[in-house]
Amino acid sequence: MNQELFALTIATAFLHTIIGPDHYVPFIAMAKSEKWSLAKTTLTVLYCGLGHTGSSIMFGAVGIAFGLSVTQIGAFESLRGSSAVWMLIAFELLYFVWGLRRASEKHLNQGRPPFLTPLILIAIFILGPCEPLIPILISI
């Protein structure tokens, strides 16, 4: 890989993350509300990032292997992105309802397993597309 393409990839990844609050707000909200340690937050972000880019790289590699163009991949990528958005909205609504219900209970020690929220976030980010990565992959 040449240096210009590597620099483009890094710049795209940075801007993609900064411009999209859906890439960092869930982690801030969950870490704050669940009182996650820095280590747990960092690992969750790392796994989500690896899943987010890794699934997009695999998707792009399949497209390249079958000789598909960016426009042909776009329809499936759009569907994948929409499903991830709706999953994130559903997760947030369920979490909100769970929080309201838990706040009204007398015994606050009843809850869900501590690993469930990070696993759901990881699954959502694996299914969520990394749109800028696909054209860069195909241009290689």
pLDDT value for 39: 94
Question: Confidence class of residue 68 from pLDDT cuts 50, 70 and 90?
Answer: low
Q: DSSP secondary-structure letter at 131?
A: T
Which residue shows structure tokens 């860069």?
Answer: 136
State how far the Cα of 63 lies from the Cα of 103, in Å rounded to an integer.
47
| Number of domains forming the structure of the chain | 1
| 8 Å CB contact between 129 and 81 | yes
The whole domain housing 58 covers 3-139
Tell me the average pLDDT across 107-127.
74
Report the mean per-residue pLDDT for the chain: 78
Lowest mean pLDDT among 8-12, 33-37, 64-68, 83-87: 64-68
Return the higher-pLDDT residue of 89 and 128. 89
Q: What is the pLDDT of residues 19-65, one digit of tens each?
A: 888 788 888 988 998 899 999 999 999 999 888 888 878 877 777 77
Q: Tokens standing for 28?
A: 């801030």
Q: Has this prediction a pTM greater than 0.95?
A: no
φ, ψ of residue 124 to 5 degrees: the values are: -65, -45
